[in-house]
Amino acid sequence: MCLKHLEQSDGKRELYRIFFYDCPPLGKKVHHPFTGKAVDFSRTPTAAWRTALHQQLRSLRKVALRLGYLNDRTGQWKVRPAKLKALLAGKITLSQLAEADLVYEVVQKGVDMRIGLDIAAMAFKRQVDQIILVAGDSDFVPAAKLARREGIDFVLDPMWATIREDLHEHIDGLRSVFARPTSDKTADRSQTGNLPSSPRPGQEATPSGGEQASGPPGV
């Protein structure tokens, strides 16, 4: 997907580097509040998949892996949104909640800071003339403002997600390059290449709040 951004109307651009932002998987054990069973998040399919993904990214040319961290000190069990909505509406009771209806949430930290520092460094050092950010939230605005003040063409790829109208004033362009999915089940999977397949849903730790992970390429 990132390499498709190099193909533009005025010709093909030269890639400086792809920066991929994430955090290591949660590696702690906690007890499920319903069953009392110990849950080792370091042994979940998501942890194995994320570790394999990071290892492969480190071996790729012109790819820089930037890792934040999960603040496991503030981790807590929460009822999944759909079940919580039904619970508050009186459609179900606490006794009807199942083990899978709870998810362990942790806050991801340090990612936005790394994105901002990398964007600032590339802008101030004139290493690039265009930055393409692949992200689905608005935490990028301060970094985008800085880059644009330094004369950098700042393009956002929200992966077809709808962005707020006021965000348009902070970017120079909006472009999603992969085929627009008609539904979650028919999303285009042609961009995964040889990267590990995503695990099936299960009992996993879910990063939430704080800073969200994204993978913007510097072009």
Question: Could you tell me the CA-to-CA distances from 1 to 41, 51, 154, 159, 178 in Å, in that order?
Answer: 30, 21, 17, 10, 6
pLDDT at 11: 84
Could you give the CA distance from residue 168 to residue 171 in angstroms, rounded to a whole number?
A: 6
Could you give the CA distance from residue 208 to residue 106 in angstroms, rounded to a whole number?
A: 6
**What pTM does this model have?**
0.78
- The residues, any chain, with a CB within 8 Å of residue 9's CB and separated by 6 or more, are none
pLDDT at 217: 41
pLDDT at 216: 41
Question: Could you tell me the CA-to-CA distances from 89 to 16, 86, 173 in Å, in that order?
Answer: 52, 5, 42
pLDDT digits (tens, 9 = 90+) for 189-217: 333 344 455 554 455 555 543 332 233 44
pLDDT digits (tens, 9 = 90+) for 55-88: 999 999 999 999 999 998 999 999 999 999 999 9
Q: Specify burial of residue 144 (Cβ count, 10 A radius: 0-12, 13-18, 19+).
A: buried
Could you give the CA distance from residue 139 to residue 170 in angstroms, rounded to a whole number?
A: 12
CB 133 within 8 A of CB 140: yes
Q: Is 26 helix (H, G, I), strand (E, B) or coil?
A: coil
